[in-house]
Structures are given as structure tokens and as C-alpha cells.
Structure 1
Amino acid sequence: MSTTGSGPHPRSAEDPGRRKGVDLPYLTPAGRRRLATARFGPDPSGPARGAPRMRNALLDGTARCVQVRAAASDEAGATEAARDALDTEAAAALRLHRTFQGTEVARLFPVVIGYDLDVAEPFVLYRPPRGNPAERLHGLASTQLRTIERDLVDAAAHLAELGLVHQGITPSTVRWDGRSVQLWGLDAVAHTGRPRTPRGPAPYASPEVREGTGRSDPRDALWSTAQVMYRLVTGRAGDPDREPADLADHRSLAHTMRSSFAARAAGRPTPAALLGLLSPDHRPAAGGTVGGDGLTPHRAAFDHTVSLKRAAGGDPPGGPGADGTPHGYGVAGAVAGAAVGPGGAAHATDDPAGVLCPYCLEYIRFDPTALHVPDAVQELQPYTFSDRQSPRLLADELRGAFQRCEGNQATPPHHIPVPYLTNGRPLTVAMIGQSNTGKSHLLTQMIAEIADDRLKPYGVSWQSVNPEQHASFLNDRVVPLRDGNVIAHTAGLGDSESARFVESLLITDARGRVRPLAFFDLAGEDLLRTDALLRFLLGIDALVFVVDPTLAMPLPQLDEIRTALGLHVNRDGDPAFATALDRIPRTGPYLTVPSAVVVAKADLLRSEPPVDRWLTEPGTVPLSRRRLYEESRDVYALLHRHAGKAWLRPFDTALHCTLHIASATGGRQEDSRYPRGVRAQRVLEPLISLLAMHGIIDLADGHTGAEAAR
């Protein structure tokens, strides 16, 4: 570990074999639950409070190992930063295990035994470290130094092939057993192209890594490797900002590592290029499939589906568009063109027929003679204008007023908030998924992040349509959820009731255009009905299909959750998806309503590629069409491999559709609570994609070199 000093302590009076054993459940790298009796040694001294710690352990009285864990800071468990570090550690360890197990490359990294990330002190179990840390090594022979140098660059090259970079290579994380290196400190592994965060000690972390500037680059590891080698050769720490002044005195090191001392990553060679210099005849052992996630053929299936959409859309064949995404892909087509209305038709902001009522689907225009306002007991009473009323007071009262809509034979009279009728063409969004899939939690966090101005970087501001209804939504759903409570499932509707949106906002885009944005969130059982209740879908503007991984993916690490909740994998897909897709009319082979597919509860898969890449991406990274394309391709491949085509029917059916990873809570519930707090991750990105398809948000067409390199 980058924060554990020189590793676990040797056997002593506090040896784990002499302490009382405790039951330790954990998951194997294959995702199977195991239970062992564990005895632990003492914690090492030195690490900062809450940072990952390593200690000796003995399983079932015979199996020696080490436990790397996020130590609890209080009774609530480990801190968020420590848990994030363990998530990173576990994801990297499992990725390396699955890719290189059984190959020569595996010797370069720790050997993972098991893990559990959903406990108060999340941990990873490894076989004991080999050899001694580099900080204890002195007087090594030149042949040994060359082997250490080659192994470190080899490890960096293999990580680079997986889209990863180790930013914590120091004398304490590099171990040597006389034959080969073993590189620890996997909590310091970052995704290539991810914005750097300040980390690491001088001189081993490069200037860019210490400053947290630019984007993570595989060449970050070469600066660290060069500094470790300088320490091994001279016994001294090098210059923290440039090559050592006496580097020329060490001819072998200068020959191989001089370029790696460049202050900026752009001035260093790639790990693969440097490996070719160090060992021209060395052939790195291949391990696993390309990328190490086994998804290559499933990404090819995505490419094939996109090509079919391109052909149906009439786009010219050939290479990618200006943004680097293939022609005919959902976002590339929808963002570049006109805004899309119900059924995919382009719409005007002001329709002389009025606004489409979201409930009865009849057009309605603002009528000052049909207004009502709630009284003290929230009963609607007729409202009349006063000739002497000030314009400001009138505007404020109209924000809380409703207009009666007479409906039609199928829908009884109902009331619509006045701002919904007076601020341009509304955009309605429906959450689709069966019960218990996390639709309500996802929508609640979407609204909460809009209220937190997360759309501001895209030039979008907001205001409530009805202040009282918005306050009720915040008090009834947002506040309890953010306080760590599980919110109640959406209640089903009776036979005589009609669908109503649960929240609506006024959004203003960068051009100053104002539009109402309304959300429907029906109970899962209601989404299976075939009666008049679902007629609101005939006028819907956008769809969010929510995938619950416990229902979709037969991964063994989800078996325990399925057993506890009485769930089973449904290989036929979500029946609510089928009902909604069948109900919405089409004018051709594809559904033209902009859509998004969201793998919710993704925290349950946070160590599984490619979830580990997308779920941990900082919210400050702006979306672009290139990033939407890459995420959609990865998520499609994940579902195609583990869930099957039935769960991908929304993407295969909708011409304009993106796929996303999200978690509304960041962790599992226990007894109707989230004991380690609630954290939303990537909950707003699906909505940003839909707003882009409707022309409300402009996404960047281009992509950076770092993004293209991933």
C-alpha cells in the first residue's frame, strides 16, 4: 500500500495466531461467498488516520495472508475517502487477477484472495508480500538493478494496456525477492485520462501528480520508476522537480532512465517504448483478453447495432462524424439536429394549438378565467384577477395557481400548474422499470442535483414550476434520502386514477429559452397495465429505462443479495420495458422518442469493469458526445455479455438512445437505512444526454488527446 509503510509486521507477541479468532465473510475473486475464522495481527504505525492499512492475518488457522482495509474513523465506519481508496484497490486487484492469472505477468502484482467492500471496514485479502521493500535494499548487483528496472517498466506497460496507471510507485510499494519485483499500493492506481488529483510524496510522485494538474498518463509511472531506481543506485532521494544533478555519474541509469526524469509526462517515452529499450528481446506475456475485461466481442455487437441504426437513418456510410462518433449513433444524430418532440417530430417552441396536456393528451391554452389556487387546507378554489393587483404580485400568485383542464371521455377534469402552460413547450420524462429497481431513488437524486445547480456548467438554470409542490418533493423524498433513509416505493394507482407527474421544473438554457421539465414515476405494477393508465406515454418526450443488475445479471457476487430479497434473474428482460415500448407509437422501424438506459445500483458492481471506470469518474468532468459514445459502448457490452439481448431491447428499439452507469445511494441498505451514508454517483448524466438530444444542452463535439488515447 502507498500508505502502509514497509508492509505487515513479522510474527510477534501479538501474532494473529495467538489472538481470538473472528468470523470473516468475504467474496473470492470469482464472486463466491466464503466464511473463514480470521485472526489478525496488530496495525502498523504510521499511516494517516482513515488511510488504507495493512496487517497480518491467519485464516482458519493455516492460511497466512495480509488484510488491506479502510480502518474505521468512528462507529460509522471508514471515511468516504478511505472507502474510495479501497474501491480503487479492489477494482485494480481484481482486474489484474482476471487478466493475468496463470501467466508470468501475475508475479508482478499482489495475489488477491478475497474482498468485501460493503462492511464498516472494507478490505481486500492478499497472499503475503514477497521479498523486502525497496527502502530496505542496499548494495544490489547491477544485474539485479536491471531486472528491477525492467520489471517496473513491464508492470507499467501492462497497466497501460488496461487503461490504468500506477501513481504510487515508491520504495515502500516496490518489493524485491531476489528474482522479480512485486508492485503493491494498488489504491494509487488511476484510470488513464482521468483528471489528476494531488497525491504522493516527493520525489517519487511526478510534479504533475503532486500538483494535481492535467490528466493521468501511463508515463506518470516512469517518473516514479526512475526516482526509485536512483534511490537504489545511490542510496539517496532524487531531485523532486527534475533529473538529478549527478545523473551523468551513473552511466547505466542515465542511459535507460534520463528521458523518464522529464518534468512533464509529455517529455517521457511510453512504458512500452522504454521496455523495448531496456529489453529488446523481452516479450511481455499476454494475459486474458484485450483490455482485460472480456468485452471485446460484445463491443463489436454494439458497433453492429449502431451500423443498423445508421442505415435506417439514411446517414452516409463511412467513418465517424466530426465528434468522432459513428454516423447514425443516437446522440450524434439527435444533438446535431433539431429538437425532438413526441414521436420524434421536430417541434416549435410556441404552438398555436397550445400545450399538450400530459394527462389527457388534449391541447390546452392558458385561460385566465379557468384558474384555481389552493386554500388553507389545500383545496383548489376559483381565482379571479384584481384590477389593482401589482404585476409582481400577480406573477407570484400565478406561479402557485392551477388551470382546470376539462379532459375528455377517457380522462376526467384535472388541473395543470399555470407555469407549465406559459413557458414554452414542456418536456416530459418517464421513468420505466419494474418495482424495486431503484427508479424513485434515481429520480430523487436527479432532482436533488438539479437543485444543487449541477446543470449550471451546461448553461442551464432552474426554477420550480409550483413552489409548494417542489418543497413537498424535497421534504418528502430528497431530505429523507440524503439523511440515509430508504424512501418508500411509488404507490400503485387505482382503476379510476390517472398518471400524474411527481415533479416539474422550469429550465432555462444558455440561449435564454425556458421550458417546463416534468417527470413521471409510476409504480412498477402500473407500468405493466394495458388500460388507459399508460396513455400518457403517447405524448411522452423522453424515456429512462432503469436496469437493476440483481435482476439482469447472473453474476455470483449478486447471489447473496438476490437470496436476501427473494429475487431471481430474469433472462427475458424487464416486463415494464416491453409494455412501454409496445405502447408508444412508431412511424418506422425504430422508436424515435429520445431514450436512456441506466444500469442503476451500479455500486453493487463497482469492482467490475467497465463499471469501475465510469462510476468513479469525477462529476466535474463535462460530458461530450465522444464520452457518451464510449460509455454507451461499454455499458452495452456489459449487458450484452451478462444480461442478454432482452435487457437491451430499449437500445435496439430506440433510434436515439444512450446507456449509462449510475448509483443513487453509493451503497447497500440495511434495515431501511443506508448505514454508511448516501452518495449519488453519475445520476444526472442520463438526463444531460436526454436534454442534449432535445437541443437544450450543447455538448462538445471534440475530444481531448487523452480521451482519444483510452
Structure 2
Amino acid sequence: MSEPPAPEVPSRIEGPFLMPPADGDRPAPEPQSERSAPDPASAAGSSGAAVSSARLPQAVQQPAVQPEARQETRQSGPQPVREPGPSRGKVKREPGPPDGPAGRKMTCPYCLSEFDWNKAPLVDRDEAGVDTPLRPQPGESDARWRTRTMHAWRICDVAGEDHYIPASLGGMKPLIIGLVGKSSSGKSHLLAAMMQELENAALKITHRLNVLPLDARLQRTLTEKYQLGLLSERKVLPRTFRGTPEFTCAYRVTSGHTGEQYALLVFDVAGEIFTAGDTAEMTPFMAVADALVFVADGADLDVRPGAPVADPGFTAVLTHIDQVRARGGQQFLPVPAALVVAKSDRLRTFPEVDRWIVRDDDLDLTTVEQESEDAYVFLRARGAGSWLAPVQECADATLHFASATGVDPEDGEYPERSFRRQRVLRPLLSLLAMRGVLPRQMIDPEAS
């Protein structure tokens, strides 16, 4: 029986994919009294990918929400994922059906071991983490095979552990984006608002981008796990345990400009992880990140006028990337960055911020260059020089004023009369232009 065709698989997927911690490494829940306490605190780059474990928990016990007027109530970093133990009576895995040329090698996104993609087991996983091998059935049609393998995973066991890789990822170009900022900076709210805009904006018409979830079932699980959907109900996002970062959302983006399909994976990373020196095990994907979004808390400027603003971990992140990327004497790091001043609605008393935050220009990238210049001057004048480290170190960088909610919460909920997303998609679109997914001319009219 001839086997049905499958998407062409790139020769390599480079970059570490993170393994979930063992049960013994899972941090204990914070006491209730501490849950709402504030936490202390270039166009070219190597392409990589990072994904979470194949299994996500069936239910995640969430702590009660304690609203904060100035704090994002979600603790930085996603919750660790429990890896299920071996299933009883688990049969020995057989090589999966090939979907590429013979001898095609892949780099495991978890352990960086090389393995034969065509011989790696192809499985589906249920909610209990039990694997079901997938093989074409006699006389099975191509349409039925593609439907049965829609949520399939390839397995690398070269290093002695099972590492699960979404099978659909093999036919796309990975695009890794790290969302960096200190706890309470507004990262999670910004990401949730960005996801809503990605799904609602008519990007196929305005920018020739077709955006869909990488895997609808996985996307639903991720949204429920991190409770990102609460923002659409005007609820303050709850805190989550700080653990090993994994991607928080995943999209398949098809560009009408390049004809390529991209697997867009976004990680939510706390700047404190880097200042604590735990980056080797916790954020290996940074070594292959394709782009970075640095999120600065605009409220830090508002409450401390005239005083130097503390480094939100940006310098530590850039130092880490400099070490692992080995720029080789180059003046700038070969990774584009977007610096976002989150909660900019709190800075409307400053005319240089107000004239940008009130604009309805989220999809218009022609003014990104002017906004970047104005934001740079504003932050330098406000003593936020440490926030500008990405601009000084990265080969390509843009600056943005944005707000995920447009207003402060009241009793754990954002007032309906003022609740709105303000310019949250603009930083991501700028990065796509810097990465070549969109034409560079959109943000730089003089670019050839």
C-alpha cells in the first residue's frame, strides 16, 4: 500500500524545546496572602523553535484573583507542566511513516540530539498522556489520514527521554518570539490582548497575512491553562506559578509576500530569571530566538518622576544572548527587538505619550519610525536609560507606546466604559517586518 503524502519537512529544526520539570521540581503554591504582592524586582538571526510538552494538565488549579490597582496580578512565567509517567503495558514504539526524503535528519527541539525524522514514532496523545501510534490504514484516503494526524506528535528518544514535537511543525518555518519583562510589567495582559487582535484583525486583507492557530486543540488548552481568555471578559488575569518557560501561544502564519508558512511561537519570560542566573536550564530557547519583545512597565515612570528607573532585567537578557549567540566581534546582536512601554494609558499626562496612545493606528506601520524616535527621547529624558538597552544592543529595534486595557482595574475587573486595547498588535507586526515576513518598506520606506 502506498503511503499518503505529507508536508515537506525542513532538513533541520534548530533550537532547544523545553522539557517540563519533574514533579519534585514543581514549586509549591504561594500562600494566599502573598498572591497579590508585587514581585521584586536584526533582521537576521538563527532560526529556531520551541514548544511545550505534548500533554498539558487536564485542569489547573488557579489561585483566587486579588486585584491590584498598579500590579499585574499574574506572576511572571508560565506554570510548569507535569510530564505523565510511562503508561502501563505500553507497547514498544515502531518507526512512524516517513513524510520526507530518506535519511532526513532533524535536531530534537528539546535535547538538541539529531534523529531521523522519518523513523521517529508518530503518535496521538490523550488527556491522560497515553500514546496511540499512528499508521496509515489499508485503503485509507489522504483526507482521512490528514484528519487523523491533525494533532499528531513526533517523538525523539535519543537522549533516553521522550521528547514530543508537533508533527505539523515539520512543514513550517519556525519563528520564535520571546516576551521579556519583569513581573507585574503587564506582559501577560499585553500578550492576551495581542492574541485577541491577531484573531480579530483582518490581516489577510490589510497585510496579506493569514493567521490561524497552529493547533486548535492545543491553542484552546493553552488559553484555558493561562486563563488568557479572561481579558476579553474584562477580568484581571490571575497569577501563575513561576516555572520553566514554555510557549504560551502558537500560530501558523502564511505570508502572501513570501509564500512561506511560519510557526509563530511566543514565550512569556520573566526578566528576573536572567538576573537570578538560571538561564541555562530555564531559557535555552533564547539562544535561537528569532525576535524579542521587551515590555517595560509605564507605571514605573508615572510613580517616580525624575528618579532613575531600575533595569527590568533587559541588560541581563541581552548579556545572556550575547554569550550564547557569539556575535563574533559584530557591533550589534543579530536579533530584532521591539520595546513596548506597557500601561501607557497611565502616561497620558505627558503630551509626547498622549499624542501616540490616542491614535487608532495599530495596523499602520508607516509611523513606526517616528514613534520610535519620540519614545527614545521621552525615555531618555525620564531617566529610563536601562530600558533602552535593546535599542543599543540589537541590530534592529523599534519602540512603541501601548496599553492592553486602556484603564486600571476596579475590584478585579476593568471598567467597561474605558476598557479597550490600544496599539497592542503594532510591536508584533513591526517584528514581522524586521524578520521579512512583511515587507521591510512598511516600517522603513527608504529600505530597498
Contact 1:431 1:543 in 2 (8 A): yes
Match of 1:689 in 2: 430
2:190 and 2:381 mapped to 1: Cα distance?
Answer: 24
Match of 2:246 in 1: 500
- Is the counterpart of residue 639 in structure 1 residue 396 in structure 2? no
Match of 1:430 in 2: 178
- State the AA in 2 paired with 1:614: W
Per-residue displacement from partner, 1:456-479 (whole Å, max 9, x unpaired)? 211000222111111234445343
* CA RMSD between the two structures: 3.0
1:407 and 1:581 mapped to 2: Cα distance?
Answer: 32
Contact 2:104 2:118 in 1 (8 A): no
Contact 2:340 2:402 in 1 (8 A): yes
Write out aligned runs for 1:2-401 (5 A): 334=43, 340-342=44-46, 357-362=108-113, 366-367=117-118, 369-375=120-126, 377=128, 379-401=130-152
Match of 1:600 in 2: 342
- State the AA in 2 paired with 1:472: T
- Is the counterpart of residue 578 in structure 1 residue 315 in structure 2? yes
Match of 1:145 in 2: none
CA change 1:381–1:488 in 2 (3 A) is farther
- State the AA in 1 paired with 2:187: K
Match of 1:489 in 2: 239
CA change 1:570–1:509 in 2 (3 A) is same
Secondary structure of 1:342 counterpart = coil
TM-score of the pair, normalised by structure 1: 0.44
2:444 and 2:154 mapped to 1: Cα distance?
Answer: 46
Match of 1:544 in 2: 293
Contact 1:448 1:478 in 2 (8 A): no
Deviation at 1:454, TM superposition (A): 4.2
Contact 1:553 1:643 in 2 (8 A): no
Deviation at 1:378, TM superposition (A): 5.0
Match of 2:165 in 1: 416
Match of 1:520 in 2: 267
Match of 1:698 in 2: 439
Deviation at 1:533, TM superposition (A): 1.3
Q: Which stretches in structure 2 are left out of the alignment for 5+ residues?
A: 1-41, 49-99
Secondary structure of 2:283 counterpart = helix
Count how many residue pairs are aligned between Structure 1 and Structure 2.
341
Relative to structure 2, which stretch is displaced further, 661-670 or 391-400? 391-400
1:407 and 1:499 mapped to 2: Cα distance?
Answer: 23
2:218 and 2:402 mapped to 1: Cα distance?
Answer: 26
- Is the counterpart of residue 442 in structure 1 residue 190 in structure 2? yes
2:439 and 2:395 mapped to 1: Cα distance?
Answer: 19
1:434 and 1:620 mapped to 2: Cα distance?
Answer: 25
Write out aligned runs for 1:468-483 (5 A): 468-475=217-224, 477-483=227-233
Per-residue displacement from partner, 1:36-64 (whole Å, max 9, x unpaired)? xxxxxxxxxxxxxxxxxxxxxxxxxxxxx
From 419, 423, 435, the equivalent of 1:678 is 419
Match of 1:660 in 2: 400
- State the AA in 2 paired with 1:491: F
- State the AA in 2 paired with 1:662: A
1:357 and 1:603 mapped to 2: Cα distance?
Answer: 43
CA change 1:662–1:400 in 2 (3 A) is same
- Is the counterpart of residue 464 in structure 1 residue 213 in structure 2? yes
CA change 1:699–1:656 in 2 (3 A) is closer
Deviation at 1:589, TM superposition (A): 2.2
Secondary structure of 1:650 counterpart = helix
Per-residue displacement from partner, 1:71-117 (whole Å, max 9, x unpaired)? xxxxxxxxxxxxxxxxxxxxxxxxxxxxxxxxxxxxxxxxxxxxxxx
Contact 1:342 1:539 in 2 (8 A): yes
- State the AA in 2 paired with 1:367: N
Secondary structure of 1:596 counterpart = strand
Contact 1:406 1:413 in 2 (8 A): yes
Deviation at 1:600, TM superposition (A): 0.6
Deviation at 1:663, TM superposition (A): 0.5
TM-score of the pair, normalised by structure 2: 0.69
CA change 1:354–1:685 in 2 (3 A) is farther
1:521 and 1:388 mapped to 2: Cα distance?
Answer: 44
2:373 and 2:421 mapped to 1: Cα distance?
Answer: 23
Contact 1:554 1:643 in 2 (8 A): no
Q: Which stretches in structure 1 are left out of the alignment for 5+ residues?
A: 1-329, 335-339, 345-349, 560-568, 705-710
1:463 and 1:434 mapped to 2: Cα distance?
Answer: 29
1:648 and 1:432 mapped to 2: Cα distance?
Answer: 13
- State the AA in 1 paired with 2:370: E
Relative to structure 2, which stretch is displaced further, 690-699 or 378-387? 378-387
CA change 1:570–1:373 in 2 (3 A) is farther
Deviation at 1:643, TM superposition (A): 3.0
1:513 and 1:679 mapped to 2: Cα distance?
Answer: 33
CA change 1:354–1:458 in 2 (3 A) is farther
Match of 1:285 in 2: none
CA change 1:703–1:659 in 2 (3 A) is closer
CA change 1:673–1:386 in 2 (3 A) is same
Per-residue displacement from partner, 1:356-391 (whole Å, max 9, x unpaired)? 655444566643641221225454433333233221
Deviation at 1:703, TM superposition (A): 9.4
1:617 and 1:663 mapped to 2: Cα distance?
Answer: 12
1:553 and 1:363 mapped to 2: Cα distance?
Answer: 50
Secondary structure of 2:267 counterpart = strand
CA change 1:365–1:526 in 2 (3 A) is farther
Deviation at 1:549, TM superposition (A): 1.8
- State the AA in 2 paired with 1:694: R
Contact 2:363 2:426 in 1 (8 A): no
Task: Point out the structure with the larger helix share.
Answer: 1
Deviation at 1:595, TM superposition (A): 0.7
Match of 2:4 in 1: none
Identity of aligned residues (%): 31
2:233 and 2:254 mapped to 1: Cα distance?
Answer: 30
